[in-house]
Amino acid sequence: MWLVSTFFFSFVLSHLLSDIFFSYREHLYHFTYFLISIGLVGIIYCELNIDKFPLSSKKTVFETQGKFLGFEFLFIMILLFVMNH
């Protein structure tokens, strides 16, 4: 349910943002590429350092990675809408 909700929210929000920032396409491209790379670094960092966290917080690390992944999908949808709008 969370994944479907994230996809739907990302779809609606990215369509709205692409309409608002359509005249700033070049800046939006660079900014979203930057945010996508930061999100990927965050996911990889959490995955590589999962052994340093205690057992009780592995669930928290998994939830953090899910949040990063949700934002990644949002930024990718924004890029797709702006490029094809």
Convert the pLDDT of each residue in 2-53 to its tens digit. 677 777 877 787 778 777 877 777 787 888 888 888 888 888 887 787 777 6
Q: Tell me what pLDDT residue 51 has.
A: 72
Q: What is the token pair recorded at 41? A: 């670094």
- The pLDDT confidence band at residue 85, using thresholds 50, 70 and 90, is low
- pTM for the whole thing? 0.67
Instruction: Tell me which H or E stretch contains 53.
Output: none
Which whole number is the average pLDDT over 48-74? 76
Q: Give 26's Cβ-side CA count (13 Å radius).
A: 0
Residue 54 binned pLDDT confidence (cut-offs 50, 70, 90)? low
Domain ranges of the chain: 2-83
Backbone φ and ψ of 53, nearest 5°: -85, 150
pLDDT, position 56:
59
